[in-house]
Structure 1
Amino acid sequence: MNRRETPPGIDAPVFAEPWQAEAFALTVALHEKGLFSWSEWAESLSTEVKRPDAAADGSDYYEHWLAALEKLLVSKGIAATPEVDAVAAAWERAAHATPHGKPILLENDPQRRA
């Protein structure tokens, strides 16, 4: 490769989906608020990505990222497991109820109380 060529993958997006960027930003923001240290975060994420069911190609990295964040928030007493599960389910319902090409909003959850 000469110096003018771009290395393979350099133009690839950092995040495959918007939710991945949001999970990343949320993790950074919570750390900056002092809710957990980077070493705590690294340990939590490491535990998740080392799970035996992790994809060998890393395609599920952000699923593990999100699981690590959820478990860390529960272990720190910031959120309870039922609350995390309820919000995750609401987002899932909202995603299924949102027309293709439209932003997924929690307000789109058909079970949301008005």
Structure 2
Amino acid sequence: MATVQADSNKTVILDIRVPSFPVAELAGHANAVNAVAWAPHSSCHVCTAGDDNHALIWDLSAMPSAIEDPILAYDAKHEINNLLWSTTQPDWVSIAFSDKLQILRV
């Protein structure tokens, strides 16, 4: 499970079998994280987006070792409010910012 605290720049990854402590913390954003989406085709990939205008894709296959950096990053023109990883076309992620919607190929 992936979750974020209000106004936090970290995404916390929890193992629902032992939810009392985080398995990993993804701290690649400079400002608050607004959205998180798991890859529909992989249990090891998650995308996060936030107020720092970045959408970041993380590879969690190295857990429980620390995850330091994302494997892909996209810089939008404004704060990203939401994102969705397509279930029918898993090579595409959509992000929403300002009054725009962008479709990104990963």
Structure having the higher Rg: 1
Q: TM-score, normalised by structure 2?
A: 0.27
Comparing both structures, which one devotes a greater share of its residues to strand? Answer: 2
Comparing both structures, which one devotes a greater share of its residues to helix? Answer: 1
Q: TM-score, normalised by structure 1?
A: 0.26
Greater relative contact order (Cα < 8 A, sep 6+): 2
